[in-house]
Amino acid sequence: MFSLSTLANANAYESPSTDLQDNMIVSGVVTDEMGEPLPGVSILIKGTTKGTITSFDGSYKLSVQPKDVLVYSFIGYLNHEEVVGIQTVLDVKMNLDEELLDEVVVVGYGVQKKQSIVGAIETTPTKELLESGGATNMTSALTGRVAGMTVIESSGEPGQNEAQILIRGRSSWNDNSPLVLVDGVERSFNDIDPNEVESISVLKDASATAVFGVKGANGVILVTSKQGSEEKTRINISQEVGMKTPMNTSSRLDMPSTFRLANQALANDGLWDQMIPESYIRNWENPNRDMEKYPEVDWWDEVVGTGYQSKTNFNISGGTKKIKYFTSVGYLKETDILKSNPQQDYDPSFSNDRLNFRTNLKFNVTKTTSVDFGISGNQKRYSSPAEVRTSNYQKEEFFKKIYRTPSYLYPVRFEDGSYGGIDPNGGDNPMSILNESGSGQTRRSELFTNLQLDQKLDFITKGLTFRAKIAFDTYTQFNKTISKDRVMFHYPTPESENRVRYPDANFVEQPVTINNWDYGWFRKTMLYEFSTRYNRTFGDHSVTGLLLFSRRINSPEVSFPFYEENWAGRVTYDYKMKYLAEVNVGVNGSDNFAPGQRFGVFPSFALGWVISEENIFRNADWLNSAKVRYSYGTVGRSHINNNTRHLYFGQYYQDGNINWRLGQDPTNWAPHYFEGRIPNENATWEKAVKQNLGFEATVFKNWRFTLDLFDEYRYDILMERRNIPAWSGFPENPYANIGEVKSRGFEVTLSYDFNIGEHLQIGIAPNFSVNESRIINRDDPHLLPDSQKDAGKPIGWKKGYVTDGLYKDWDDIYNSPNTNLGGNPIPGDIKYIDFNGDGSVDINDQTALKGLDVPTKTYGLNLSLNYKGFTVSALFYGVNGNYANISDDMMWGFAKGFYVLDEVHTNTWNPYTRDANANPTLHFQNMQHNNNSTEYRWQNASYWRLKNLEMGYNIKGKKSDFYRNIYVYASGNNLFTFTSFDSRLDPANSNAAYPLVRRFNLGLRFGL
């Protein structure tokens, strides 16, 4: 069997020499600090590529010359050099890299040594973010990188493609977004340039998030930007260009086939008078027909094409003992995948231009005093066609029109350049919407500033420091609309000589209206924070402490500001880095709740045991490190929106006037005042009790394993009451903290790095996570059937009808329960199950369908390969357990009463084949019976995707070169997807909105 020792012997070669008398054989054994053999150690003759690796017993043999210097290197150990001289036996002892042992991880309000961490925290470095295949936002770049993190991308629209992030699934039906802090300040991170980021830490359990108290229940993401270091100036320049194509597709059926299938649907509905003559159908089979009267437009091919993007970054860093600096400027430009055409007065395309900037400065004022200043932000300008700019619904409707606009009634444009179309409500023209409706443009500016003072207080007691921080952020948006009237034409029938105009002939088309930039909105936030920190070691005992106070004022436009106050404390202890303990507490206040309810206390504790430090394992050559950790604590979530702001206030409204009378004669009127929401003085925030049990181990030097088991009980979920009868007199259902949910799951992360020969390094790092939730109480109405109550079901469940295939024939229909769902069933229609057994199928037979609207399982697989400067990295990402609904237009065809079908509609039940596995039979009008919530429309949206792939070559500069390194690469994003979902749609984009995109990029990174 092929073995590493065989490989080592195969690579231990002798290099020819012109002076054979200088050649000699040196051999030896390489061991670790405990004297145990180290296999796989790379041994190179310095300044050459000649060398070997150690075998399983740590031994090696190599042909050398006396003047040679041997360099020994191994992951996790310091490099070691030996001059050969006259030695023929060189036994080497490798020492651990203490800097790796002291590697720190960013945690809430500070950093901790990685070895002492007892919470569930996972870190992603910059390198992985830069290998995201051209992703244009940070949320998408995190996909598949962190176990337990679900990234839901639903749009590829330039500038509006922020993904939804869930950490350990959903534990509430309210907002589940994690708290995000950038350099310790609550900020959005979607539009940050990855070149500015040093690392991202994801905090998952209560011990890691309790210091954030009322904002920690959904997990926390900590983004740390790059800082300068004490070194000579370094300049990095990167340029990436790429193209992008849609992941959705279209499979419009040709018109002759569509017409013939339409006749089947018309016959099924008994619409004999509307049957399409075969002579009419044959017109579309004539290649010499009049294309303006007998068009056949594939709207997808006409509208959707290829987009382009480019990313540029320039950053410079360095420093001295007195000052350190990092400055970065980046520019992103995204163009549209739609075939828009610039007009004389505007560009109607979906587009995005973003300029990022960041400067971080650190001043060492004295040996004990330092000042940090940071300023960063972005200027962003994005646009879209005017008719679709105001809402996501409009955008969804636009892309649905690409799928459902008829192909046979009018061309895209007539020979005179005018657009075809009937009217916007029935027979629109997507190209006319795209190019002729005008343009909606948005300018958004975000500016972030922070100033921090650190003062060592060793004169009071060693290890004590004081920190003061202030941060001020502003967000500004301006909007501009350019409007244009749309005009379309069509022939009422192919025999018509004259076209019909929309709007009608009396309409006078107006010149393009170019509005000025209008103020959209403005928001500013102010944070000030003071803390004392303690870090000291007493022999075998190490203690750290944190006491922090902060206030944050969030002022949106002219609305009443949001005030928040936070007190946080943390104490950690370890004995010989073997026994670990940590206690955290967060005390948070919010003005959103009534006096007496504004502050909450959120404590947690965690324990850890580094098993590998026990004497019984210290000599175990197979076990390098092992740790068990457990945490328990309470965190919270304040769900505040327009409906839940200041719930302790009552509301009263005035709505017009009413007539009133005294005696028999009416005659006067008075203002009509009425009561709105009933106040709730006891309203408060959601609370979550979390437990986490974790195992970490490294075995055989380079196998690493992490397992986390977690459990959460979420209670006091703020919700609108659902079980209050109408006769109670409440004008609106009040809000109360009555919701309860339980959730649990586990996460597994593995990694294995190894060498093959002296030049080939391979890394494999899979991760897998499972989460599930169960609703305990959502105030279900008492008379609701148990099968339709939320209690006992997971968050995101779908209510619908259970089916038993399709009706085989009329006897099957007559012998089945009566259906009261609209329409009259015929053979080939859906056969519903009488779930409650009352002899009839109606709304009371709805129950939970299989699957949820978000994944319950996520998979990630990171692969890397390095060989003599060549690099390959790949990321696979998958989700499971999620389902999505297919719109009725795409499911049944004949949208808006037009003859529109896709290839998928050819696989439908018909009386000739009676295929039970086919889709339900076609209908032109009688769709009500089939058009219900069933597994035919509620489809499995699980997928496995090659998310990112990058191949590159790295050229390292020599001392005599003017550059440090040059890296040239090609990358791709969203390259392949394996799924059983509807082939026309990407499973993450089932609403047919702006499609997700597939990217292909070429890039260059240049270091000076």
Lowest mean pLDDT among 43-47, 374-378, 685-689, 905-909: 43-47
Amino acid at 830: I
What is the average per-residue pLDDT within 508-524?
Answer: 89
Question: What is residue 708's DSSP assignment?
Answer: E
The answer to whether 438 touches 512, Cβ cutoff 8 Å, is yes
The answer to whether 406 touches 400, Cβ cutoff 8 Å, is no
Name the residue with higher pLDDT: 21 or 229: 229
Lowest mean pLDDT among 25-29, 461-465, 709-713, 727-731: 727-731
Secondary structure of 518-555 in the HEC alphabet? EEEEEEEEEEEEEEEEEEEEECCEEEEEEEEEEEEEEE
d(C-alpha 515, C-alpha 997), whole Å: 32
The answer to whether 982 touches 892, Cβ cutoff 8 Å, is no
Lowest mean pLDDT among 89-103, 126-140, 198-212, 251-265: 89-103
pLDDT digits (tens, 9 = 90+) for 774-794: 999 999 999 899 999 999 999
Residue 76 has a pLDDT of: 64
How many angstroms separate the first and last alpha carbons of the chain?
47
Q: How far is CA 951 from CA 141, 673, 827, 865, in A?
A: 17, 69, 55, 9
pLDDT digits (tens, 9 = 90+) for 343-382: 989 999 999 999 999 999 999 999 999 999 999 999 999 9
The answer to whether 441 touches 479, Cβ cutoff 8 Å, is yes
Residue 977, H or E segment: strand 965-979
Point out which residues pair with 179 in neighbouring strands. 220
The answer, yes or no, to whether residue 21 has pLDDT greater than 50, is no
Amino acid at 367: K
d(C-alpha 901, C-alpha 254), whole Å: 8
The answer, yes or no, to whether residue 183 has pLDDT greater than 60, is yes
Indicate the pLDDT class of residue 9, thresholds 50, 70 and 90: very low
- CB count in 10 Å sphere of residue 17: 12
pLDDT above 70: percentage of residues in the chain: 95
pLDDT above 90: percentage of residues in the chain: 66
The answer, yes or no, to whether residue 222 has pLDDT greater than 50, is yes
Indicate the pLDDT class of residue 647, thresholds 50, 70 and 90: confident
Structure tokens that stand for 911 in this block: 């009386």
- pTM to 2 decimals? 0.87
Question: Which residues are within 8 A (CB) of 653 and not within 5 positions of it... i.e. 6 or more apart?
Answer: 673, 674, 675, 676
Structure tokens that stand for 511 in this block: 């010149």
> Exposed, middle or buried by CB within 10 Å (0-12, 13-18, 19+), for 219?
buried
Name the H helices within 787-937. 810-814, 888-892
Q: Which single residue is written with the structure tokens 């959601």?
A: 686
Residue 303 has a pLDDT of: 95
The answer to whether 141 touches 135, Cβ cutoff 8 Å, is yes
Lowest mean pLDDT among 152-156, 317-321, 761-765: 152-156
pLDDT digits (tens, 9 = 90+) for 394-434: 888 898 899 889 999 999 999 999 999 998 887 899 999 99
Residue 992 has a pLDDT of: 65
How far out from the chain centre does Cα 437 lie?
Answer: 32
Indicate the pLDDT class of residue 75, thresholds 50, 70 and 90: low
d(C-alpha 387, C-alpha 397), whole Å: 10
The answer, yes or no, to whether residue 952 has pLDDT greater than 90, is yes
Spell out where 684-734 has E strands: 686-699, 703-720
Quote the mean pLDDT of the chain: 89
What is the average per-residue pLDDT within 5-10?
Answer: 36
The answer, yes or no, to whether residue 14 has pLDDT greater than 90, is no
What is the average per-residue pLDDT within 640-661?
Answer: 75
- The reply to whether omega before 503 is within 30° of 0 (cis) is yes
Greatest C-alpha distance within the chain: 131
What is the average per-residue pLDDT within 960-971?
Answer: 89
Residue 11 has a pLDDT of: 40
Candidates 256, 265, 293; CA nearest to 895 is: 265
d(C-alpha 775, C-alpha 507), whole Å: 57
Residue 660, H or E segment: strand 652-662
Q: Phi first, then psi: what are they for 510, rounded to 5°? A: -90, 160
Rg (CA), the chain: 34
Residue 102 has a pLDDT of: 53
pLDDT digits (tens, 9 = 90+) for 433-457: 999 999 999 999 999 999 999 999 9
pLDDT digits (tens, 9 = 90+) for 283-312: 999 999 999 999 999 999 999 999 999 999
Residue 506 has a pLDDT of: 84
Residue 17 has a pLDDT of: 38
pLDDT digits (tens, 9 = 90+) for 196-213: 999 999 999 999 999 998
